[in-house]
Structure 1
Amino acid sequence: RYIWLDDKHVKQVGEDAVVNLALVTVQDLADTYQPPFEKCVRDGRASGVMCAYNRVNGVPSCADSSLLFKTLRGEWDFKGYVTSDCDAVAIIHNDQGYAKTPEDAVVDVLKAGMDLNCGSYLRNYTKSAVLQKKLPESQVDRALHNLFAVRMRLGLFNGNPVPNPFGNIGMDQICSPEHQILALEAARNGIVLLKNDAKLLPLPKSTMSLAVIGPNANSPQTLIGNYAGPPCKSVTPLQALESYIKNTVYHPGCDMVSCSTGAIDKAADIAKQADYVVLIMGLDQTEEREALDRVDLFLPGRQQELIVSVAKAAKRPVVLVLLSGGPIDISFAKDDPRIGGIFWAGYPGEGGGNALAEVIFGDHNPGGRLPVTWYPQDFTKVPMTDMRMRPESSLDYPGRTYRFYKGDTVFEFGYGLSYSKYSYSFTRVSQNNLYLNHSSSLHTKETSESVRYMLVSEVGAEMCDERKITVHVGVKNNGELAGKHPVLLYVRHGNHGNGRPKKQLIGFQSVILSGGEMGEIQFEVSPCEHLSRANEYGLMVMEEGRHFLVVGDDKHPITIII
């Protein structure tokens, strides 16, 4: 009862957030932008929500009463407080011009349902708004009620907080052995193997010499990324690799990650002498962070030139490790046979250096999957302020995300290799046909394609629960190494045109299997949640016809009958 979840940024669409006017269809809001926040509120029982800077369809998020009252508190039954992003209230007047005066901005956000301002606007202008008769004191009371209710639930009025749980947390608790193991495990599980030609990886521990090259190889700060506290301890990838191979030679190759200048010839000479070469490249906070967006998807500066030159000089195909928060167009490396292995590790935290070394030398079998689509550089022609999910061929618009995007990818969402091969099969599905026409009180309608459908809101929670499907998936590790393997369950409509997603991830679970071992995992599929879609009016509907559950190359049909 002493932990709360703060959910941010509700309805932030696009990163040019201060003045950005995001035009979003009700269909995209219903099936893309709002569901993650709804999950946090309904299932995670979030106690705090942060409204964003930007305007959505003309209305600033912090002044959107439909969002904060009708949707958040009404439909999602939110019981916490709403805070603004920092200075988001000031921006409503100063930058967006939505409010004519500072007092009007205060009135707009408090009447819309916001409770707390990160910034000084409420402190400076709430009293004058009340004195000018623009704001009733009841709105101030309402905000205070929400704020103090959460503080009471946290036990902040229960006397001396020190004896309470979490009342005296210091470095001994934060940096406990259990927490450091957890940091290492998180880093291990997040590393994604993108390429492993001719089973180059894992590298043999009997390697006589190793060259480690790249500007991110010996940078502990790059591992941490943005929005992070100080690590308990720092082990860089270089230091971790040196613990495996004593004869390790290091060269940064570039002056820094921007790689405007570099000693490429020197790095290539070092690569010539080593048995194996690991390049540790990518991005850092000088290239991407809050308030610093990238303008392209390529590696910065001369990094590509460095990678290609080292790969040409090396005795064997090289291993490329990428540290970055977002995707990078590395088509050149994907297609180059001299680059035998590629890892993406994100910004893996303090355990990232050790985790990378463990994976490279086979003490951990990689199983991570990409959390986003890796688009090619050509995708940057799409304005980042264009929020549409669905493609429009007449306008040469490819759409966004794995659910709708029609175009080439560098790597797909959910992609990730392992040192083992896994196979899947649907071993048991509790029902193959779903009948939704048992009650004459339920109304059916037809789409423009003459497909019969029902509104999820009319089906009702009771029937939704009764119609849940239990799905059992068999998984086999066909390799020799044990591994922790994530299994991704998708659904796709038999007819995925006319605004329907190509496919939709509806569940994922990890299973730990030894080499040659078989296992089984269970999913629960809710038809109202997982077999529905948003129509053009933003209403969730269940359509008659075939849907397919998909795991790997195996699929299982589910037929909805209305």
Structure 2
Amino acid sequence: MKTGIATTTMASLPQTIILFLLLLGAFAQARDPFACDSKDVKTSSLPFCKVSMPIPNRVTDLLGRLTMQEKVRLLVNNAAAVPRLGIKGYEWWSEALHGVSNVGPGTKFGGAFPGATSFPQVITTAASFNATLWEAIGRVVSDEARAMYNGGAAGLTYWSPNVNIFRDPRWGRGQETPGEDPVLAGTYAASYVKGLQGNNGDRLKVAACCKHFTAYDLDNWNGVDRFHFNAKVSKQDIEDTFDVPFKMCVQDGNVASVMCSYNQVNGVPTCADPNLLKRTIRGQWNLNGYIVSDCDSVGVFYNTQHYTSTPEEAAADAIKAGLDLDCGPFLAQYTENAVTRGLLKEADVNSALANTLTVQMRLGMFDGEPSAQPFGNLGPKDVCTPAHQELALEAARQGIVLLNNRGPSLPLSHLRHRTVAVIGPNSNATVTMIGNYAGVACAYTSPLQGIGNYAKTIHQMGCEDVACNDDKLFSGAINAARQADATVLVMGLDQSIEAEFRDRTGLLLPGRQQELVSKVAMAAKGPTILVLMSGGPIDVSFAKNDPRIGAILWAGYPGQAGGAAIADVLYGTTNPEGKLPMTWYPQEYVSNLPMTDMAMRSSPNRNYPGRTYKFYKGPVVYPFGHGLSYTNFVHTIASAPKVVTVPLDGHRHSGNATISGKAIKVNHVRCNKLSVGLQVDVKNTGSKDGTHTMLVFSKPPAGHWAPQKQLVAFAKVHVPARSQRRVGINIHVCKFLSVVDRSGVRRIPTGVHNLHIGGIKHSLSLQPATLGVIKS
């Protein structure tokens, strides 16, 4: 049975009105030019308006025409107009985490743009392990963003994606991230950014921003908040965990912006640290774009962290560190005085503005009429299109993870399960499904509506909300389960439990949810299926070990079409293919583990368990990468090298290149084309077609600073029932088979690396080339 994409519309408007609004494309108010309006003969002929000139020359010309008072008012997110030069005011702050969002003042829904396609929350989309999907979502989001910009409803600078590591399972913003693995997060970042920014050379469709740099993953826990937190991080953990996604975002994704975070790192606010901003992001990684503060970060490190004695010193420290734009008023208020007092040079201000103005010019904002530019034809007709909504549904399907399937109990049968009890505080969820940093969805399909497309439903909430503070509604839920052929409990969390500025206190289901699940399962006539909505992991050991609970699904926050996707998986229209992008820990894991401890590696002598699958060795509820299918896949390695020679730079000496001959510094290696190629045959031995998510891990040679294992590659392959497909994998040796020593130096361990693909293992020996045969 084919499910409908949506049945509940935005703001409960009738479908006819929605269609009418979406057809208003030709009548939507077109945006006036931001600058260089051809009708303004005084300004349109100025050199900075000449599209034929190189952008650096145009920027230099414009900077030479601005007064200091005008310059400082351009250093903030609500940049002021410069009427005498024909430049309008601009709001830099828009968001597009998983669809155009109304968080931030740059975007307004209403009129010709009542909503935008709301894709699954990032943690759910990450579970697809599908880089092609991530880029496709980025392309759709940027189409809709450009359309809204053309209609005067949005900006062109989007402070997304969030690529912080999901280090602690209690973090309220973990839902916004691509999970706990740095390579997964970095690949997501580069893919989504490419989709957003387009493939038009140095020109930008929209400007993306990777945030929040760096070691930012605590909002408000046990009296410690992000505005006061000093993250004490080793050089080793910075290099091999926290900075990896940002480096990949800049170097592989060519992102146009990076945002620095609220917290301090080792005693220095990130937005005032030249080592992080000027030397790392812009120097080592060669950012082609601008650096922006998280909102009010400069004010926070002056007013809250008391990092400087005067506000002028704070403004000067930020700009000299490499900050180009302040989300907030601080730099507009204090930068001019900082220059007057000699704390800052006007050349420093010019350098900051050159970076932001360059991005605006790459976006075409100084090229005259938007309608005459690339993407100028996009309008309301290009928002919430059927194709876009279908992609939101497909993304949700790919991100759902089948955690348990006893019996098997899933998929449900049209013939045997004609009546379904749909129970739980998230059973008829709509807004809950889109998580945070979302906008106004085009339309919703709740789980109840999705299941209703397959079977007759009996609906009972069981709890008034996810807090589930009492059992008043339990009896109705229990009675429904007694009557139905199957029972689906849709439980979990929402933004009242985990959100920005709201970290969780534990990992269990809130309130009396667990009690409801167990009592319903005990009474149910047919199979009981538990569906979980959440951003973070939940300890559902009770359900995993309960023989009356036939299957467990994790849907994350599955976006506007989440209910349709859940139903498709429940009834087998879609064969589940998602894999967990984070470890699901038992509740005991966090009982003695402060969120404030940033160390990644375990420390037995201080009873510290370590973090993420790479370093934690204790019991788990479900491991990183876990996810079942309705069929069975078997791997066979068709071809793979057993020995790979690591070519050394001929200008280096062996004493500098190695530690006791066991690990070679990456910067002493000719990395350019050094990769390992594998061919893997994937056979579907079951009776159902399926898409396999293949994860490749490497276990490096034993060493006190190496992880237990690390993700080095992943791939998707569709394999029809009882057939076989060959998958090619390339592993970049320097990027993915290296590890980081205690000094923060990335090295390639020589010796045997064990590659793990599903249940098979391949041993690969990395050996340094003999120096005598290395050519310069």
8 Å Cα contact 1:12/1:51 also seen in 2 = no
Query: Which residue in 2 is equivalent to 1:477?
Result: 684
Q: Per-residue displacement from partner, 1:497-521 (whole Å, max 9, x unpaired)?
A: 4121011101111001111110011
Query: Which residue in 2 is equivalent to 1:552?
Result: 758
Q: What is the CA-CA distance between 1:316 and the residue it aligns to?
A: 3.0
Query: Which residue in 1 is equivalent to 2:612?
Result: 401
Query: Which residue in 2 is equivalent to 1:62?
Result: 271
User: Which aligned pairs between 1:429-508 and structure 2 lie closer than 5 A?
Assistant: 429-430=640-641, 432-436=643-647, 439=650, 441-444=652-655, 450=660, 452-459=662-669, 463-495=670-702, 497-508=703-714
Identity of aligned residues (%): 45
Match of 2:571 among 361, 373, 385: 361
Q: What is the CA-CA distance between 1:446 and the residue it aligns to?
A: 9.1
**Could you say if the C-alpha distance between residues 438 and 286 of structure 1 is closer, same or farther in structure 2, counting changes exceeding 3 Å?**
closer
How far, CA to CA, are the matches of 1:310 and 1:451 in structure 2?
61
8 Å Cα contact 2:485/2:527 also seen in 1 = no
How far, CA to CA, are the matches of 2:302 and 2:749 in structure 1?
45
Match of 2:460 among 223, 227, 251: 251
8 Å Cα contact 1:534/1:540 also seen in 2 = yes
8 Å Cα contact 2:424/2:463 also seen in 1 = yes
User: Which aligned pairs between 1:201-220 and structure 2 lie closer than 5 A?
Assistant: 201-206=410-415, 207-220=417-430
How far, CA to CA, are the matches of 2:337 and 2:719 in structure 1?
65
Q: What is the CA-CA distance between 1:12 and the residue it aligns to?
A: 3.8
8 Å Cα contact 1:445/1:452 also seen in 2 = no
Q: What is the CA-CA distance between 1:126 and the residue it aligns to?
A: 1.0
8 Å Cα contact 1:14/1:22 also seen in 2 = no
Q: Per-residue displacement from partner, 1:382-440 (whole Å, max 9, x unpaired)?
A: 11111111100000001001100121111100100000111112111245232546958
Q: What is the CA-CA distance between 1:482 and the residue it aligns to?
A: 1.0
**Could you say if the C-alpha distance between residues 257 and 466 of structure 1 is closer, same or farther in structure 2, counting changes exceeding 3 Å?**
closer
Q: Per-residue displacement from partner, 1:353-408 (whole Å, max 9, x unpaired)?
A: 10000000010000000011111111222111111111000000010011001211
My pick for the range that moved more, 204-213 or 358-367, is 204-213
My pick for the range that moved more, 234-243 or 430-439, is 430-439
Q: What is the CA-CA distance between 1:312 and the residue it aligns to?
A: 0.4
Q: What is the CA-CA distance between 1:557 and the residue it aligns to?
A: 1.1
8 Å Cα contact 2:237/2:600 also seen in 1 = yes
8 Å Cα contact 2:631/2:690 also seen in 1 = yes
**Could you say if the C-alpha distance between residues 271 and 506 of structure 1 is closer, same or farther in structure 2, counting changes exceeding 3 Å?**
same
**Could you say if the C-alpha distance between residues 12 and 535 of structure 1 is closer, same or farther in structure 2, counting changes exceeding 3 Å?**
closer
8 Å Cα contact 1:87/1:118 also seen in 2 = yes
3-state DSSP of counterpart to 1:507 = strand
Q: Per-residue displacement from partner, 1:190-243 (whole Å, max 9, x unpaired)?
A: 000000000110000122311000010112011111001111111101011111
Query: Which residue in 2 is equivalent to 1:79?
Result: 288
3-state DSSP of counterpart to 1:465 = coil
Query: Which residue in 1 is equivalent to 2:313?
Result: 104
Q: Per-residue displacement from partner, 1:499-544 (whole Å, max 9, x unpaired)?
A: 2101110111100111111001111112211221100110011122
How far, CA to CA, are the matches of 1:70 and 1:151 in structure 2?
24
Query: Which residue in 1 is equivalent to 2:446?
Result: 236
3-state DSSP of counterpart to 2:595 = coil
My pick for the range that moved more, 78-87 or 519-528, is 519-528
8 Å Cα contact 1:434/1:558 also seen in 2 = no
Q: Is 1:350 aligned to residue 556 of structure 2?
A: no
Query: Which residue in 1 is equivalent to 2:409?
Result: 200
Query: Which residue in 2 is equivalent to 1:292?
Result: 502
Query: Which residue in 2 is equivalent to 1:163?
Result: 372
Q: What is the CA-CA distance between 1:451 and the residue it aligns to?
A: 5.2
How far, CA to CA, are the matches of 1:440 and 1:126 in structure 2?
47
Q: Is 1:414 aligned to residue 621 of structure 2?
A: no
Q: Which sections of structure 2, spanning at least 5 residues, go unmatched? A: 1-202, 219-224, 769-776
Query: Which residue in 1 is equivalent to 2:512?
Result: 302
8 Å Cα contact 2:632/2:685 also seen in 1 = yes
Query: Which residue in 1 is equivalent to 2:262?
Result: 53
Query: Which residue in 2 is equivalent to 1:529?
Result: 735
Query: Which residue in 1 is equivalent to 2:85?
Result: none
Q: Is 1:336 aligned to residue 546 of structure 2?
A: yes
Q: What is the CA-CA distance between 1:124 and the residue it aligns to?
A: 1.1
How far, CA to CA, are the matches of 1:440 and 1:179 in structure 2?
53
With normalisation by structure 1, the TM-score equals 0.96
Query: Which residue in 1 is equivalent to 2:237?
Result: 28
Q: What is the CA-CA distance between 1:278 and the residue it aligns to?
A: 0.3
**Could you say if the C-alpha distance between residues 109 and 420 of structure 1 is closer, same or farther in structure 2, counting changes exceeding 3 Å?**
same
Q: Residue 449 of structure 2 aligns to which amino acid in structure 1?
A: Q
My pick for the range that moved more, 127-136 or 415-424, is 127-136
Q: Per-residue displacement from partner, 1:324-357 (whole Å, max 9, x unpaired)?
A: 0110111101111111100001101011110000
Q: What is the CA-CA distance between 1:484 and the residue it aligns to?
A: 1.4
How far, CA to CA, are the matches of 1:159 and 1:561 in structure 2?
58
8 Å Cα contact 2:529/2:549 also seen in 1 = yes
How far, CA to CA, are the matches of 1:97 and 1:125 in structure 2?
16
3-state DSSP of counterpart to 1:321 = strand
How far, CA to CA, are the matches of 1:447 and 1:470 in structure 2?
25
How far, CA to CA, are the matches of 1:471 and 1:550 in structure 2?
12
Q: Residue 464 of structure 1 aligns to which amino acid in structure 2?
A: C
3-state DSSP of counterpart to 1:488 = strand
Q: Is 1:385 aligned to residue 596 of structure 2?
A: yes
Q: What is the CA-CA distance between 1:443 and the residue it aligns to?
A: 2.2
Q: Is 1:6 aligned to residue 209 of structure 2?
A: yes
8 Å Cα contact 2:697/2:713 also seen in 1 = yes
8 Å Cα contact 1:391/1:397 also seen in 2 = yes
Query: Which residue in 1 is equivalent to 2:52?
Result: none
Q: Residue 143 of structure 1 aligns to which amino acid in structure 2?
A: A
How far, CA to CA, are the matches of 2:572 and 2:388 in structure 1?
23
Structure with the larger strand share: 1
Q: Is 1:318 aligned to residue 521 of structure 2?
A: no
User: How many residues of Structure 1 are paired with residues of Structure 2 in the alignment?
Assistant: 556
Q: What is the CA-CA distance between 1:261 and the residue it aligns to?
A: 2.1
